[in-house]
Structure 1
Amino acid sequence: MINPIIQAMQARAELLDIQGSTQGLDDALANLAGWIELRQEELHEDDLAVLLEVGGILYREGLNRRMGE
């Protein structure tokens, strides 16, 4: 059974494809960073840590792709 949040992400990805979106990892990072910046003071420390880890993973994956790994 797939997690409902992952299902929602999959549905969103499919919608982005249907819409012809060209957004990629850099766009996702920019959106995440902008959202965190706006909400940083409202976020619990644990939530901020998780979001920064997700951002770190996205950043690393984007860097690895650019480096050809």
Structure 2
Amino acid sequence: MAFQQSDLDGLDAAIAAGVRKVTFADGRSTEYQNLDQMLAARNLIAGEVAGPGNTAARRRRRVIIGRVGRL
């Protein structure tokens, strides 16, 4: 199933408004049980909208907090 940016925008709006039922651009309607399901769906849609060549949405950052070294 191909998602569009409008699907992501609609889901973001529903999350922000605290609404669990979302109607997508093609007329499909989904009611989520909780916020965790909505966020999982949002991550899936965002990854698909970003496309296979765009890894910016999935990039991980590595932060070094401290190092132990010899004196």
Q: TM-score range by the shorter chain?
A: 0.3 to 0.5
TM-score, normalized by length of structure 2? 0.33
Structure number with larger C-alpha Rg: 2
Structure with the larger strand share: 2
Structure with the larger helix share: 1
| Higher RCO (CA-CA < 8 Å; seq separation 6+) | 1
